[in-house]
A = this chain, B = another copy of it.
Amino acid sequence: MQVSIDEIRSGHKPAIARAITLVENERRQIWPLLKELFATSELASLVGVTGPPGCGKSTLVEKLVAGWLEEGERIGVIAIDPSSEFSGGALLGDRIRMDGISSEPEVFIRSMATRGYLGGLNPAIFDTVLILSAAGYDRIVIETVGVGQNEIDIVNLADTTLVVTMPEVGDEIQAFKAGLMEAGDIFVLNKADHPRVNRMELVLQQMLELNSSGEEQEFPRLLKTIATRGEGVDEVLEAVGDHRLKLEKSGDIARHRKQVMRRHILHLLEEKVREQLIDPLLQSEDFKQILDQVVKRKADPYSTAEDLLARLKSADQQREEVNLSHEN
């Protein structure tokens, strides 16, 4: 499978799709292309959308994308699907649900599974963002289904984070929403035609006040929508624009992007360490014997890990000795 940098730059959709497939499955092969794209592409605006299942995230994303399209933007959507490591692929639910925008020539939608990447999900998302940026998409929406680690990771990547919720969610959903309270820039209370919307709004306001510094602030902002009818969507679009301006005016965007880059380098290094140092060690005959000893409790996993690390590190010491002898 070959992908040319020119095809990506010209926005050729099948080439973009092939490149992302390489990001997912053939990371070694795609690195040279990613290096070239990085050197010559400005990263797009990144908007993260997260929240509990069933709150209407996909519908809201569809309406937001329609709004940005009207403003002449080209939009990429990365939908992070929970997926089985057993069955492999993503579940495609979001791709199907976003039918209303998926046929638009100025929109590129891609579902990505949460599992099965050598280096984890994060570097694969960043690489996809880079490809879509190089292909000329002005704004990239990263939507996650579910709660927990992945959501926080995506919050860390996005410039602006929308936390979507709805009235009358169960206790557990309340709980994990709390976990996202400090992360959201814009809170969207969807399904605002629900009879208990006022109660939920009050709860959200209290939680936001609890996390605030006490001073009057522009963000986080709390907005109500009925995404299915498009109500309140314009206000969300405006808030995303305002937040972007605020990031640029304050210089926070530069600090944020630096953190994103730092983490990406770390993730890439971990990926390479795994591939070139750790995996060969674990695939050795030697390790199979050690594992048998651990299973029989004649060795323990902690000492075993220390021994394996020592093998990686002993090289360092040897090297220092060589350096010393050179100095002599």
Chain A interface (Cβ < 8 Å from any Cβ of B)? 31, 34-35, 38-39, 52-54, 81-87, 91, 93, 97, 114-115, 121, 145-150, 152, 169-173, 175-176, 178-183, 254, 257-258, 261-262, 264-266, 268-274, 276-278, 281-282, 291, 294-295, 297, 300-306, 308-309, 312-316, 318-319, 321-322
Contacts and interface: CB of A to CB of B under 8 A. Distances in A.
B152 A150 contact: no
Contact of A318 (B53, B145, B281, B315): B315
A318 B317 CA distance: 10
B274 A181 contact: no
B261 A301 contact: yes
A192 to B, nearest CB: 17
A127 B104 CA distance: 50
Given A54-B173, A150-B148, A172-B54, A83 B179 contact: yes
Closest 9 CB pairs of A and B: A54-B170, A315-B315, A268-B305, A53-B172, A86-B182, A146-B147, A38-B300, A84-B179, A93-B175
A214 B82 CA distance: 27
Contacts of A114: 148-149
24 contacts: A35-B303, A53-B53, A53-B170, A54-B170, A82-B176, A82-B179, A114-B148, A145-B172, A146-B147, A146-B148, A147-B147, A148-B148, A148-B149, A261-B294, A264-B301, A265-B282, A265-B305, A269-B281, A269-B308, A269-B309, A270-B270, A273-B309, A315-B316, A319-B319
Given A145-B176, A265-B294, 4 more contacts: A38-B301, A82-B175, A315-B319, A318-B322
A315 B277 CA distance: 12
B38 A86 contact: no
Given A38-B302, A52-B53, A306-B272, A258 B149 contact: no
Contact of A278 (B149, B270, B282, B303): B270
Contacts of A297: 38-39
A165 B308 CA distance: 42
Indicate how many identical chains form the complex.
2
A282 B266 contact: yes
A53 B173 contact: yes
Contacts of A121: 149
A176 B301 contact: no
A53 B82 CA distance: 14
Given A38-B301, A149-B115, A309-B269, A84 B175 contact: no
A62 B269 CA distance: 43
Contact of A300 (B39, B85, B300, B305): B39
- Residue of A114, A301, A305 contacting most chain B CB atoms (<10 Å): A301
A269 B305 contact: yes
Given A264-B301, A322-B322, A84 B150 contact: no
Contacts of A306: 272
B300 A86 contact: no
